Amino acid sequence: MLGEMWSFNGRYKILHMTWFAFFLSFVVWFNFPPFATTIAQDFGLDNAQLGTIGLCNVALTVPARIIIGMLLDKYGPRLTYSLLLIYAAVPCLIFATAQSFNQLVLGRLLMGIVGAGFVIGIRMVAEWFPPKDVGTAEGIYGGWGNFGSAFSAFTMVIFGIILAFLPGAFNFGQPESFKILFFPEFNTAILNWRAAIAGTGIIAALYGMLYYFSVSDTPPGKTYHRPKSARGIEVTTKKDFWFLLAMNLPLTLILMVLAWRLQKVNFLNGTGLAIAILALVGLYLFQTYNCWTVNKDLMTGKKRYAPEDRYDFSQVAILELTYIVNFGSELAVVTMLPAFFEGTFSLDKATAGIIASSYAFMNLMSRPGGGLISDKMGSRKWTMVVLTVGMGIGYLLMSSVAGTWPLAIAVLLTMACSFFVQAAEGSTFAIVPLVKRRITGQIAGNVGAYGNVGAVAYLTVLLLLTEASAGANGGEPVMAAVNAGFFQVLGITGLIVAFLCAFFLKEPKGSFAEFHEGETEMTATPPVEEEATY
């Protein structure tokens, strides 16, 4: 596979076009951080408001990944990905033309939906690659696509400078779109952040149209498996139905946390917070109703699944926990790492940003590496355990980094920790397509949503630690202690999940098979529908 993947034919064309779609979605999703300081100056934002914008960027990704997973299973990845990329232009233009903090928040909230694109490619790649290669293929898709965040960090400012010198049509009619950005390395440069952010959305929309006319949902002759209903996840035992409802609850609770943070920065007043909480309770009840509708025959005894058609929802729950601690921690760490290096080693912002980007750069090889190890090690379960243990230990070691350390050692530790984090992500999604094929989109959506649950939870912990430290020290947080506590939380939660994986994660059936469930060597064509036994 590794030798053939450089071709642009057949399944490799699909892989390359799909990881690039994911790459663009991440460029769009992370087009704010490179301009954070400049935008804060433009709008007079304080640190709490900037932190809230960061939370908003990942908040709606939680429900969006679930909804996208449902649409994906019903309509297929080709149409779903194309429409999502076209939609990306909308929040980009809202954010690029914003005139107030509230408009910035709205733009980033809507931008979070773009972050749901990841789950679409998971199913697309799984349709085109056999189980024995799916870990490596999903790792390449996830790792190379995820590199979009690092690409955005390195290039958005450059694009902003270039666009500042183009004709007035790129100015969005806003004189403040031309700002002076001071770099320590060279003279002042003009920066048009509005045009740069809008441009990423327009490019994504154009690629969405190209994607639609260039790919197909499955290889020729294969059938795209759809669930009978995509309104909620189909389970195969009664106890799994109650387990499903329990695992849906944190998705709602984390959105309540976000609403509370929005009230703290005066985006919502007391009445608005109450309305938001009631709306989220209603959303959970609506989600529960949809799950009941899908599984009503099972719960009323009218339907029973044959043993070979059952799957264990506890495996989905374990994978959700793994994605909290690996991808959730990555999103949180990417947000705070530049400030961590700047404060710990007294670096200027530009140098700290470049060094911190080493964490995201590791995605190019770490996530594919995790998938490859999962394919070759012979046990997807123990690959998951070992990588998660390594991640937990890495974060605990990072909690001890201090200004007295040699900078090179700190950077190497960051890169080593990043390898385990991102390889664990690859290992998670080497298992996801093997749980239950016909609902892969919904499973990927729920697991992916838990990554954002982790990000919001970890960032909230960081904000609370910062506020507590500031209150205990006359208003000035002791950032060394805050950062140490933050990394300790990441490390301990990672080791706890590794322990759970060791005892409760099961090796998926057909993990290293030549063909997908229902396929044969003669036809490689699955049956039209997997029927349950009544």
Each residue's pLDDT tens digit, 458-467: 988 888 887 7
Q: What's the whole-number mean pLDDT along residues 89-96?
A: 93
Q: Of the segments 45-54, 104-113, 182-191, 427-436, which one has the largest average pLDDT value?
A: 104-113
Q: Give strand pairing partners of 179.
A: 191
Continuous H helices in 473-530: 479-504
Residue 172: per-residue pLDDT: 52
Q: Which residues contact 449 (CB under 8 A, 6 or more apart)?
A: 61, 62, 63, 64, 65, 66, 251
Range from 17-31, 125-139, 345-359 carrying the lowest mean pLDDT: 345-359
- Reduced to 3 states (helix: H, G, I; strand: E, B; else coil), residue 65 is helix
- Rounded to a whole number of angstroms, the distance between the first and last alpha carbons of the chain is 41
Distance CA 322, CA 505 (A): 10
Residue 476 corresponds to which tokens in the numbers above? 């000035």
Q: pLDDT at residue 391 above 90?
A: yes
Any residues with CB less than 8 A from the CB of 304 and at least 6 apart, and which?
A: 298, 532, 533, 534
The arithmetic mean of pLDDT across residues 204-210, rounded, is 96
Cβ(499)–Cβ(195) below 8 Å:
no
pLDDT-based confidence at 471, cuts 50/70/90?
low
Confidence of residue 181 (pLDDT cuts 50, 70, 90): very low
Q: Are 328 and 453 in contact (CB under 8 A)?
A: yes
Q: How many CB atoms lie within 10 A of CB 408?
A: 8
pLDDT at residue 393 tops 90: yes
With residues binned 3-state (H G I as helix, E B as strand, rest as coil), the percentages for the chain, rounded to 5, are 75, 0, 25
pLDDT value at 222 more than 90: no
CA distance 33 to 192: 15
**Whether residue 171 has pLDDT greater than 70:** no
Work out the pLDDT band at 233, boundaries 50, 70, 90.
Answer: confident
Of residues 339 and 341, the one with the higher pLDDT is: 341
Give the pLDDT score at 188.
32
Mean pLDDT of the chain: 83
Question: What is the structure's pLDDT at 167?
Answer: 58
Q: How many CB atoms lie under 10 A from the CB of residue 527? A: 11
**Burial letters 309-346, b for 16+ CB under 10 A, else e:** eebbbebbbbbbbbbbbbbbbbbbbbbbbbbbbbebbe
pLDDT at position 526 is 42
pLDDT of residue 530: 41
Contact 42, 176 (CB under 8 A): yes
**Degrees, nearest 5: CA angle 326-63-420:** 10
What single DSSP character describes residue 33? G
User: Is pLDDT at 264 greater than 50 in this prediction?
Assistant: yes
